[in-house]
């Protein structure tokens, strides 16, 4: 129990405001005001263990993760882009690895299709766990929240501290958490699962209404701890602290 709460350092490669492969980050959820966490002491079978969204937001072994590039076979869309840098881009395939200070081997955030015998404990949605197997079910894609600019933003760098979506490549459902109580050794936390939530955003005069992913699907890659004045030490893209992503600038 104490080992899981051992303080851990957030370790971005640079302070350029973008997510890089190899960065150690936290994943903050807007619906729960908590962050992704895992619990190796709650095994679900020989290869997987539990995940939750925790209220404990100080960086520690169980709530910090390393972003890794998926090196295996992808899909047809991967041929559209040829990334030569270590920056994570919208539309790129990633894996989310458990902090190695918590477990001895590589463990990856994963999800499986919902079946009559496999589902999340309380909501009975698609289960999200950590797995010791590096397979296609551990692969995620970072997506831009606003569908109006989703295609235009593919290939652009993913900013830190800005709301994004993570879609599971195997099932095409979005990573989610909600205020659904999940009791474990750390107290009452919130359940993790995969499900796509939609919010209708009313348009202004001359602008059509559009569907946005809901708060349950909105995640931020947190690469730094806020200072006393509330500003993060490594700032993301300009204006990225709001509830909605900014549209791309001209020329992007």
Q: What is the pTM of this model?
A: 0.85
* Distance of alpha carbon 174 from alpha carbon 125, whole angstroms: 11
Using pLDDT thresholds of 50, 70 and 90, give the confidence band for residue 238: very low
pLDDT attached to residue 37 = 98
Tell me the two tokens of residue 27: 């994943």
Rounded to the nearest integer, the mean pLDDT of the chain is 86
pLDDT in tens, 89-146: 999 999 999 999 999 899 999 999 999 989 999 999 999 999 999 999 999 999 998 8
pLDDT attached to residue 76 = 62
pLDDT attached to residue 180 = 96
Give whole-number Cα distances, 33 to 27, 30, 179, 216, in Å. 11, 5, 9, 10
pLDDT in tens, 86-98: 999 999 999 999 9
pLDDT in tens, 182-208: 999 999 999 999 999 987 655 555 555
Using pLDDT thresholds of 50, 70 and 90, give the confidence band for residue 158: very high
Tell me the two tokens of residue 160: 């830190």
């Amino acid at each position: 129990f104490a080992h899981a709460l051992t303080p851990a350092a957030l370790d971005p490669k640079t302070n350029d405001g973008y997510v890089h492969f190899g960065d150690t980050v936290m994943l903050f959820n807007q619906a729960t005001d908590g962050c992704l966490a895992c619990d190796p002491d709650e095994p679900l079978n020989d290869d997987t263990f539990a995940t939750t969204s925790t209220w404990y937001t100080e960086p520690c072994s169980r709530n910090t993760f390393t972003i890794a590039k998926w090196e295996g076979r992808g899909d047809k869309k991967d041929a559209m882009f040829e990334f030569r840098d270590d920056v994570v881009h919208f539309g790129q395939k990633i894996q989310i690895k458990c902090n190695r200070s918590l477990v001895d081997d590589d463990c990856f955030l994963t999800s499986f299709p919902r079946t009559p015998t496999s589902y999340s404990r309380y909501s009975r949605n698609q289960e999200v766990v950590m797995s010791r197997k590096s397979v296609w079910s551990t692969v995620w894609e970072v997506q831009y929240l606003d569908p109006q600019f989703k295609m235009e933003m593919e290939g652009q760098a993913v900013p830190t501290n800005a709301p994004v979506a993570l879609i599971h490549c195997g099932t095409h459902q979005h990573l989610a958490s909600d205020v659904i109580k999940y009791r474990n050794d750390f107290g009452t936390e919130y359940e993790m699962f995969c499900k796509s939530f939609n919010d209708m955003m009313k348009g202004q005069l001359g602008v059509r209404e559009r569907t946005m992913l809901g708060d349950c699907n909105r995640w931020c890659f947190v690469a730094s701890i806020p200072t006393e004045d509330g500003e993060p030490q490594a700032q993301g893209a300009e204006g990225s602290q709001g509830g909605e992503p900014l549209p791309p600038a001209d020329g992007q």
